[in-house]
């Protein structure tokens, strides 16, 4: 097991991907307890609407099975179960502390049944999902891809575990292209978010990393090309919130 590195500097100057994984894991473990609060604050509550859009785009059949990759505290999966009470959700993440928060939330909301048949959490690496081919009716992720070391491989794994005719749905932050809004967004994301993160979570370093993780991340059209490159079909995307968030949808050939 890789020894977690000390969280003392921005990720973009870390020398290799092994350290990147360790850094991201430790970072999310540190902010797990305040992650949901920061999401509400940073997005002005819009993250709740985005989760509903993700579930809608998954187009789950009756009794369908959804895989939520990098589930974190489980909110996308919980939204799926509220909107579609007959579906089954598996949430996976490599930061165990985030899922512990999610399990407590699910227990409070009565989303855990005695057999664990409708909702389960599991430790997993997004680059090597521990499921057979064609297991799920849809796979989704929210704010995952900026944190992986190999975006194409992550999408390929998601495509692999989806049944023919199913969907891969990805929600990610993107960089606005309109000059004025790009500048305003930069001030908010790179200056105010770290300050807010420090005040609400005590983890300024984590909320300094999160904005910087967008700098080298592909723009929506390029991300669409990566999804198509791993075999997803009819890939499309929608840009929301003044060009700061993109929702991508790809289909697995029937």
- The DSSP string of 154-203 is HHHHHHHHEEEEEEEEEEEE----SHHHHHHHHHIIIIIHHHHHHHHHS-
pLDDT digits (tens, 9 = 90+) for 216-246: 899 999 999 999 999 999 999 999 988 889 9
Count of CB atoms situated within 10 Å of the CB of 109 = 12
Q: How far apart are CA 231 and CA 57, in angstroms?
A: 19
Q: What is the pLDDT of residue 131?
A: 97
| Residues forming beta bridges with residue 125, ordered by sequence position | 128
Residue 212: pLDDT band with limits 50, 70, 90: confident
What percentage of the chain carries pLDDT values higher than 70?
Answer: 90
Residue pLDDT, tens place only, 47-65: 899 999 999 999 999 999 9
Dihedral angle sign, alpha carbons of residues 163, 167, 172, 178: positive
Query: What is the model's pLDDT at position 14?
Result: 39
SS3 (DSSP) at 3: coil
How many Å apart are CA 172 and CA 135, to the nearest integer?
24
Residue 37 has pLDDT above 50, yes or no: yes
Residue 42, CA distances (Å) to 53, 165, 212 in order: 18, 35, 15
Query: Measured between alpha carbons, how far is 109 from 105 in angstroms, rounded to an integer?
Result: 6
Lowest mean pLDDT among 69-83, 101-115, 160-174, 214-228: 101-115
Mean pLDDT for all residues in the chain: 86
């Amino acid at each position: 097991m890789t020894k977690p590195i000390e969280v003392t500097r921005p990720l973009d100057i870390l020398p290799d991907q092994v350290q990147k994984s360790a850094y991201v894991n430790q970072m999310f473990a540190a902010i797990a307890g305040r992650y949901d609060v920061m999401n509400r604050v940073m997005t002005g509550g819009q993250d709740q609407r985005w989760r509903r859009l993700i579930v809608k785009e998954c187009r789950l059949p009756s009794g369908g099975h959804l895989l939520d990759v990098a589930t974190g505290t489980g909110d996308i999966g919980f939204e799926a179960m509220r909107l579609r009470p007959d579906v089954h959700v598996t949430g996976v993440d490599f930061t165990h502390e985030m899922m512990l928060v999610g399990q407590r939330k699910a227990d409070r909301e009565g989303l855990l049944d005695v057999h664990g048949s409708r909702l389960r959490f599991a430790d997993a690496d997004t680059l090597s999902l521990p499921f057979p081919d064609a297991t799920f009716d849809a796979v989704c992720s929210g704010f995952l891809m900026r944190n992986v070391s190999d975006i194409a491989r992550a999408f390929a794994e998601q495509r692999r575990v989806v049944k023919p005719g199913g969907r891969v749905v990805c929600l990610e932050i993107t960089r606005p292209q309109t000059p004025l809004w790009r500048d305003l967004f930069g001030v908010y994301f790179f200056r105010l978010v770290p300050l807010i993160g420090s005040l609400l979570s005590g983890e300024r370093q984590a909320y300094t990393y999160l904005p910087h993780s967008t700098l080298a991340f592909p723009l929506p059209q390029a991300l669409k090309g990566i999804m198509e490159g791993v075999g997803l079909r009819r890939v499309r995307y929608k840009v929301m919130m003044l060009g700061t968030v993109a929702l991508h949808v790809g289909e697995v050939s029937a």
